[in-house]
Amino acid sequence: MKHIIFPAFITIALFACSKKNNKTSTPEIPSTVTATVPEVYKKIYGATSITSDGTYITIKSKGLPDHTSPYYATTNSLYENFSGTTFAGATFSKNPNSISEKTYTFKIPLDPKVAVSHQATPLGPIGVSLNGVPFFNQYAGPNQPLTNEIVSFDKYWGHPAPGGMYHYHVEPLFLTTVKASKSALLGYLLDGFPVYGPEEFGVAVDESKLDIYHGHTNPTTEYPNGIYHYHITNKDPYINGNGYYGTPGTISQ
Ligand SMILES: [Zn+2]
Ligand SMILES: [Zn+2]
């Protein structure tokens, strides 16, 4: 299956398979991909399209989680009531927002490079995860820690912002425990560098060995020759540390 080439702009019909809880099933693919898009980006199965102009990879998504959440409308089949504890044992307290569809366009460098001066990450989307949901940074507001937001993370550790923008500040648990694994590629930040889970080839990542951007250079399954990559861990700053390692592309919504 790996070697199928998708002709430019052919739309592949999405077919509904019941494979939500089957890690070994054929990976889903975005509905539209161009032939020049490297295989690895096709792992972003929640994208509605992935294209390449040779310099940037453009990933479009609706930002709707493909898992249950108490933040979906009760009429949505993915609505699920929540009670109990969430991230770090916090007692769940639902925020007043609900999930709504977005029109994200993430434009990320195809050939990411370390930046000369490292930009801080903004509030709002800083990257895209495999299911098309954006990653957010470690702040709830300008320099405000997530402390008071953590209680509103649902069972897969995401929540919506005012305006309905669903996002992950921490490990996207649906991806690390249902769709992929703790060692898996989980998405990309806007600078084009990949984001991996809290383990590397099945071994917990030692946070003290990560740099101030929350990454390091090592071989990975997808990049056997080695690449700089971020690791998500369960301690602040969770996904990304002191800004982007590379030069970010753009996000429009
Ligand atoms: Zn948030
Ligand atoms: Zn690593």
For residue 182, which ligand has an atom nearest its CA?
A: 2
Asked if residue 151 belongs to a domain, the reply is yes
**Overall average pLDDT of the 26-52 stretch:** 88
- Which pLDDT belongs to residue 27? 57
Asked if residue 11 belongs to a domain, the reply is no
Residues 111 and 40: their CA atoms lie apart, in Å, by 13
State yes or no: pLDDT of 207 exceeds 80: yes
Q: How far is CA 48 from the centre of its chain?
A: 15
Q: Ligand 1 centre and the CA of 241: distance in Å?
A: 16
Asked if residue 131 belongs to a domain, the reply is yes
Domain count, the chain: 1
- Which pLDDT belongs to residue 25? 47
Asked if residue 186 belongs to a domain, the reply is yes
Tokens, residue 57: 């990879």
Q: Ligand 2 centre and the CA of 129: distance in Å?
A: 17
Q: Ligand 2 centre and the CA of 229: distance in Å?
A: 6
User: 182-197: per-residue pLDDT in tens?
Assistant: 999 999 999 999 999 9
- Which pLDDT belongs to residue 54? 94
Residues 23 and 179: their CA atoms lie apart, in Å, by 6
Beta bridge partner(s), residue 185: 196
**Overall average pLDDT of the 209-226 stretch:** 98
User: 83-138: per-residue pLDDT in tens?
Assistant: 889 999 999 999 999 999 999 999 999 999 999 999 999 999 999 999 999 999 99
- Tally the C-alpha atoms within 13 A of residue 23's C-alpha that lie toward its C-beta: 10
pTM for the model: 0.88
Residues 150 and 236: their CA atoms lie apart, in Å, by 12
Asked if residue 195 belongs to a domain, the reply is yes
Q: Ligand 2 centre and the CA of 217: distance in Å?
A: 7
How many beta carbons lie within 10 A of that of residue 122, not counting itself?
14
- Which pLDDT belongs to residue 94? 96
State yes or no: pLDDT of 28 exceeds 90: no
Residues 180 and 130: their CA atoms lie apart, in Å, by 9
Q: What is the 3-state secondary structure (H, E, C) of the chain?
A: CCCCCCCCCCECCCCCCCCCCCCCCCCCCCCEECCCCCHHHHHCCCCCEEEECCCEEEEEECCCCCCCECCCCCCCCCECCCCCECHHHCECCCCCCCCCCCCEEEEEECCCCECCCCCCCCCCCCEEECCCCEECCCEEECCEEHHHCHHHCCCCCCEECCCCCEEECCCCHHHHHHHCCCCCEEEEECCCCEEECCEECCEECCHHHCCCCCEEEECCCCCCCCEEEEECCCCCCCCCCCCCCECCCEEEC
Q: Ligand 1 centre and the CA of 168: distance in Å?
A: 7
Asked if residue 200 belongs to a domain, the reply is yes
Residues 93 and 98: their CA atoms lie apart, in Å, by 14
Q: Ligand 2 centre and the CA of 220: distance in Å?
A: 7
Residue 86 structural domain: 63-101+112-252
Asked if residue 40 belongs to a domain, the reply is no
Average pLDDT score over the chain: 90
For residue 221, which ligand has an atom nearest its CA?
A: 2
For residue 195, which ligand has an atom nearest its CA?
A: 2
